[in-house]
Chains A and B, each alone.
Chain A
Amino acid sequence: MSSGPTSDRPSALETLRSAARAPAEYARSWKQRTGRPVLGTFCSYVPEEAVIAAGALPFRILDVPGEFGAADPRLQAYACCLARGALALGSSGGLAFLDGVIFSNTCDTMQCLSDIWSANVCGGSPGDVETFMMPIHVGHAAARDYLLAEIERLVASLGARVGTSVEPAALGRAVADCRTARVALARLLEVQQGPSPVLTPPQYYDTTMARCVLPPDEYTSSTTVVLDDPQPLDRVGPRIVIAGGPMYAPVLPDLLAELGACWVADDLCTGHRAAAPGPAPGDDPVAAIADGLLSRPQCPAKHRTGHDPGRAVVERARQAAADGVILYRLKFCDPHAFDYPRIKEALDAAGLPSLLIEVETPAGSVGQLRTRLQAFLEMLADAGVSEVCT
């Protein structure tokens, strides 16, 4: 399924941008065009291949409002804005175009949200909500067998939901297409973190977020156009890595652009972590999906013995020759908040300046965000000066 021609760089970037900035519109129009279902997800670990093979469009629910009134009767205020915003949107009918939602056990909040969603958004029937229980213990040998069974269960369940049975061939094609899309993104991110970045911060945002919206083949064709016509940026200001997540508003990248910085790399589930292509698939598509999920760069909500979140971020920053690292998290996000002290310690030890940005909603408090970013970038600029002029 492909849309109009994206044969030149500006239109390719525009395709990516409009998908990233108005994902619901894209999904609605896709649904109208194709007559096929759209299934919502919250977590990048939910196998998009399974959804695609069932003939549906996976829709990562990230474009949620910053006003939670409709969620308050159902969910307390100490939940993150993504959960509250999504619940508010769902409760007020804003996600009525979805034909179902797949919840994963990303964290305590998401786990509880699935039951609340069943009761309040889908009219009280637990069957309206799909679940996908990703193993947390990704480093454990038994996780793979469990995951294979869980993926098969999901595939069967999705098939029943859309009224067809999902053939292995369809799953195999979905696996191949998604992998191609990931490879395209990975290659672009590789260029971006090198000596000649090609994307402005807002373009970086658009390119990574569009991966959560566009069907894989459309995504691949747009990204390939950009890859084939690199156009390095004229001025590259301070090189910034953004780690944490999820970041679902372009406020921060827009400010980085305004303040003259360059976003060169990320460690986000909306970017680099979900772009890992995984091992080359063999004959078994379910195994390919499982191995892809288990081999990803570590997400804070998963556990692997001996993993050091600090070292991971430092390596990312070094690979990208970063001048500074922005540690981004949503308020009330436990997994990221627990990792923060270790990450900060490692960055300090490595001499890499960092800035913690914790947001109550991604699009809120722009003035305060701007002040912090500006102060941070001024700090980085001064780092080259040994004596402050007085």
Chain B
Amino acid sequence: MTTGERSDTERKRRSPRFVRLECTARLHKLMTRYYAYARYMPRLGKKIAWITSGGPVEPLYAAGIIPVYPENHGAMCGASRMGPKLGEQAEALGYSRDLCSYARCDIACAVHGGGPIGGLPRPDLLVCCNNICGTVTKWYEVLARHFNVPMVLIDTPYLHDGQLPDHTSRYVRAQFDDLIEAIENVTRRRFSERRLQRAMGLSLECVQAWQRVLGYCEHRPAPITCFDAFAHMAPIVTLRGTRWAVRYYRHLEAEIAQRVERGFGAVPEERHRLLWDNIPIWYDIRNLFKHLAARSACLVADTYTNAWVMDRFDQRRSLDSLAEAYASIYLNIGTPQRFRQVAELARRFSVDGVVMHSNRSCKPYSFGQLDIQRMIRDELGLPCLMIEADMTDSRSYSREQVRARLDAFLETLEAAA
């Protein structure tokens, strides 16, 4: 293993291969099965609910309702490079280009039926929890009018100091009752507490497996990169609460453990370990990996995949515990708390630098980054790069500029090493 300076020409020749996890094939089968299930089961009377990524899905799985995630679909639109076209369709409908690109893609698909899988199956119920942002409330209002179906809103007031006051807790909890009532109306069956506890148990197992998966990146070299994590997060987002997801992550975990045993690093000759902040740039993931890997840089951790760690469930307290957990997620707490989480990740994963994606489409995630960036530099002594883009709409992306900034950033790291 050689170390030391590498010439530019050598770096250009290198261009490492992106070694897919073998589980990737299994992942595709799982997600295909999930979306097919969602498409065809309604013919047999199953109900569909569209739900926000931070929404309480356990009651839905408990009641046998199939949850579908427009945000996950948005990510698929981005990865399939359909963001610009769908964005234009949404703009033709009157939706400003400055609105969240997930929402624009989703609304365009709902109205015109496009997108990478021909659109999502019609919802019978909309479940919106604004713990991630206020955009979802407006987005789901549009969907509720378009599909003419009930919308349940769970309003989780922002926790500036990270603490959950009693009156907030009671208010959130009361709205969970509405969710249960809506579920009972849609399924015409009494809601089962027992099944909820089971779903919560499976959710917890899944979250714990996911945390272990991500935790393997504490090793040097990291066996996977964030880009793998971004791909393999689909089950924790969409199938959290089912056995499918638990089984899947067991397989993934096994394969990653093997990589660690073999000393396999996702980036050959890993020299720079980086932390990523914000939602990925879905349409440029592969190229960004290659660009960084060619310069021996590996994204070993990120705040986005680490947000799926709702592990404060207490099954015995079921709905009460759910309400508390969902009211306290990463994006619902103030900037100082977010910085502390970043600092913790930087420490755990032995990170040399941080890359922050200033994402036009996600204000709650992006506003405050400039302060966090300053804190990372001043208090952690780590270099921190900001790149501007949009998660789904490549019209707001200047690939050359981003490459140039990354190169300059990596040169700084190289010089410091």
Within the complex, are A and B direct neighbours (CB within 8 Å)? Answer: yes
Report the separation of the CA atoms of residues A145 and B220 in the bound assembly, to the nearest whole angstrom. Answer: 52
| Among B20-28, B32-40, B136-144, B247-255, the stretch in contact with A | B136-144
Query: Would you call B370 an interface residue if the criterion is a C-beta within 8 Å of the partner chain's C-beta atoms?
Result: yes
Beta-carbon nearest neighbor of B169 in chain A: A146
Question: Does B171 contact A135, Cβ atoms closer than 8 Å?
Answer: yes
Question: Does A338 contact B175, Cβ atoms closer than 8 Å?
Answer: no
A140-B175, A150-B167, A334-B134 given; A135·B155 CB < 8 A? yes
From B155, B157, B170, B174, contact of A303 by CB (8 A): B155
Beta-carbon nearest neighbor of A113 in chain B: B367
Beta-carbon nearest neighbor of A341 in chain B: B94
Question: Does A108 contact B134, Cβ atoms closer than 8 Å?
Answer: yes
Question: Does B158 contact A126, Cβ atoms closer than 8 Å?
Answer: no
Report the separation of the CA atoms of residues A134 and B139 in the bound assembly, to the nearest whole angstrom. Answer: 20
Query: Would you call B16 an interface residue if the criterion is a C-beta within 8 Å of the partner chain's C-beta atoms?
Result: no
Chain A residues near B170 (CB, 8 Å)? Answer: 142, 145-146
Binary flags per residue of A11-37, CB closer than 8 Å to B gives 1, else 0: 000000000000000000000000000
Q: Interface SS of chain A: helix, strand, loop or mixed?
A: helix
Question: Does B334 contact A74, Cβ atoms closer than 8 Å?
Answer: no
Beta-carbon nearest neighbor of B369 in chain A: A76
Question: Does A301 contact B363, Cβ atoms closer than 8 Å?
Answer: no
Question: Does B158 contact A334, Cβ atoms closer than 8 Å?
Answer: no
B338: min CB distance to chain A, Å:
9
Query: Would you call B186 an interface residue if the criterion is a C-beta within 8 Å of the partner chain's C-beta atoms?
Result: no
Chain B residues near A142 (CB, 8 Å)? Answer: 170-171, 174-175
Report the separation of the CA atoms of residues A344 and B96 in the bound assembly, to the nearest whole angstrom. Answer: 13
| Among A91-99, A115-123, A167-175, the stretch in contact with B | A115-123
Beta-carbon nearest neighbor of B135 in chain A: A334
From B99, B133, B168, contact of A338 by CB (8 A): B99
Report the separation of the CA atoms of residues A315 and B157 in the bound assembly, to the nearest whole angstrom. Answer: 31
Binary flags per residue of B147-190, CB closer than 8 Å to A gives 1, else 0: 00001010101101100011110110011001000000000000
Chain A residues near B153 (CB, 8 Å)? Answer: 136-137, 140, 303, 305
Query: Would you call A44 an interface residue if the criterion is a C-beta within 8 Å of the partner chain's C-beta atoms?
Result: no
Chain A residues near B160 (CB, 8 Å)? Answer: 114-115, 126, 131
Question: Does B135 contact A337, Cβ atoms closer than 8 Å?
Answer: no
Chain A interface extent, by class: 35 or more
Binary flags per residue of A139-173, CB closer than 8 Å to B gives 1, else 0: 01111011001100100000000000000000000
Query: Would you call A342 an interface residue if the criterion is a C-beta within 8 Å of the partner chain's C-beta atoms?
Result: yes
Chain B residues near A200 (CB, 8 Å)? Answer: none
Most chain B C-beta atoms within 10 Å of own C-beta, residue among A107, A111, A126? A111
A108-B133, A136-B155, A149-B167 given; A126·B161 CB < 8 A? yes
Report the separation of the CA atoms of residues A56 and B142 in the bound assembly, to the nearest whole angstrom. Answer: 40
B181: min CB distance to chain A, Å:
12
Chain B residues near A75 (CB, 8 Å)? Answer: 367, 370
Chain B interface residues (CB < 8 Å from chain A) = 93-96, 98-100, 103, 130, 133-135, 137-139, 141-142, 145, 151, 153, 155, 157-158, 160-161, 165-168, 170-171, 174-175, 178, 334-336, 358, 360, 363-364, 366-371, 388
Chain A interface residues (CB < 8 Å from chain B) = 73-76, 78-79, 105, 107-109, 111-116, 119-120, 126, 131, 133, 135-137, 140-143, 145-146, 149-150, 153, 300-301, 303, 305, 308, 331-332, 334-335, 337-342, 344, 358
User: What are 20 A-B contacts defined by CB distance under 8 Å?
Assistant: A74-B370, A78-B363, A79-B363, A79-B367, A105-B158, A108-B364, A111-B134, A111-B158, A111-B364, A116-B371, A126-B160, A126-B336, A135-B155, A136-B153, A136-B155, A141-B174, A143-B171, A305-B153, A338-B142, A339-B138
